[in-house]
Structure 1
């Protein structure tokens, strides 16, 4: 399912994100991992999830792929918030630093993404994955190619 086509290609990026928040729309991976977009504003987004043992790795902690997915969402959605109607994006690069292990007991975590710079062809974003106390579990930077239809 393509949320852009389902909700409306006529919307700007921030309008699309706000429609996603209002209706709790999620792309397939968001449904699978129970990651939801909590808020969106110009150049900044927040996603939330409560990981459990279903996303654990063999070592007994939350798999890095879950963390990477949350940070990729945050970086991408932050870039999307700056786009006009008819524009989309694709990730060129995503660099993640894992600061500490994430466990079910950590509780709900937030991926906060923001735009550092956005030009006509490329956007640069960053994100942090934090717990309720603001403790950082991972951080990321991303480069995104801006596409026009």
Structure 2
């Protein structure tokens, strides 16, 4: 006898469901980075960095810029996943072209899936300021892997020990 396993949606369906419910990736919530648009092979994030994202020189920290670019690259790749597969970033290369500061306004990172293979994906992203000036670019290599079922974790509220 076989058991019918639930079919997980593909990557694009997963991200569209997240976007339609207003859910954001947890790191994005923490940093004020929002996924605003998604299609197959395409993801757009927006943010308005504030003083909490600045370095001591008064410009936006490179880690913040890297985080929004990594998110754009990753979600663009996520849209290309088959059901039952996941990904993780193997490599991220960021080129900083123009500083971001209090006059940069809303920033926009656009990610694009370049290639999706059985074990690796490649994506790229650009980041522009509110004036449309290119401020940073990124390329990303991502490991694609089959997801394994996870063991259920007992919830202490259920009285299990």
Asked if these proteins are the same fold (TM beyond 0.5), I'd say yes
User: Per-residue deviation at 1:9?
Assistant: 7.8
Mapping 1:109-124, distance limit 5 Å: 109-124=107-122
SS in 1 for 2:14: helix
What residue number does 1:85 align with?
Answer: 83
What residue number does 2:18 align with?
Answer: 20
Structure with the greater alpha carbon radius of gyration:
2
Q: What is the count of residue pairs matched by the alignment?
A: 142
1:138 aligns with 2:110: no
Hey, what's the Cα distance between the residues in 1 that align with 2:26 and 2:48?
Answer: 17
Q: Greater shift after overlay, 65-74 or 99-108? A: 99-108
* Moved >6 Å (runs of 4+): none
TM-score (norm 1): 0.91
Hey, what's the Cα distance between the residues in 2 that align with 1:147 and 1:103?
Answer: 38
Unaligned runs of 5+ residues in structure 1 are 1-7
TM-score (norm 2): 0.84
Unaligned runs of 5+ residues in structure 2 are 1-5, 148-161
Instruction: Call closer, same or farther: CA 1:9–1:133 in 2, change over 3 Å.
Output: farther
User: 1 or 2, which has the higher helix percentage?
Assistant: 1
Hey, what's the Cα distance between the residues in 1 that align with 2:136 and 2:52?
Answer: 20
